[in-house]
Copies of this chain bind each other. A is one copy, B any other.
């Protein structure tokens, strides 16, 4: 592992994409893949893929390409998915429940192992094999189960408070579904998963409404 250069976020964010495509190829019994083939599949420039991977080591063979299973194991290692990572979810509403049931992260060794909520109606509720716990139990459970990542699916107004509690419990990373900008200590990394941003920005690219011509169409 070289790691001397700081690796940019853009690169890291592409690694799960590579993993996803490689897993698909692996299921299709494909042994070897070139950066060109992978690029076609993912709509990315082959040079970019090669450069991204080269930050972490020499995984390919000139004239041949990349061995699919070998590359999978390498990327899994880089993303620290070769060891199990426990996740806590806070906010047992519709979205939270959906994510708990989804649990397709298991293949990737990520697992939601505890669910928390503030509301008396929710506490004690059964989701999958988990019982919804009160927030008071957060810190103890995080320590007991060595939970390292927290998912926030509470309403926007409550998100900051939950983030504080997660940070206090010693969590290292937060995936935030609430449309709110969280302030956290530098030891905690926050990734944003609010899809409303994606949905609203999608609207920008719609054609100007054809029913009305009060906006002159000048291109």
Residues of A within 8 A of B (CB): 1, 3, 12-13, 15-17, 19-21, 41-43, 78-81, 83, 85, 87, 93-95, 97-99, 101-102, 104-105, 108, 110, 148-149, 151, 172-175, 177, 179, 181, 189, 191-193, 195-209, 215, 218
Contacts and interface: CB of A to CB of B under 8 A. Distances in A.
Contact of A199 (B83, B95, B110): B110
Given A16-B201, A172-B206, A191-B201, 17 more contacts: A1-B215, A3-B218, A12-B204, A13-B197, A15-B200, A17-B197, A80-B206, A80-B209, A81-B203, A93-B98, A95-B98, A97-B98, A104-B196, A110-B200, A174-B202, A175-B202, A195-B195
A203 B17 contact: no
The 8 residue pairs across chains A and B that have the minimum distance between CB atoms: A94-B98, A16-B200, A193-B195, A98-B98, A173-B202, A191-B198, A95-B98, A16-B197
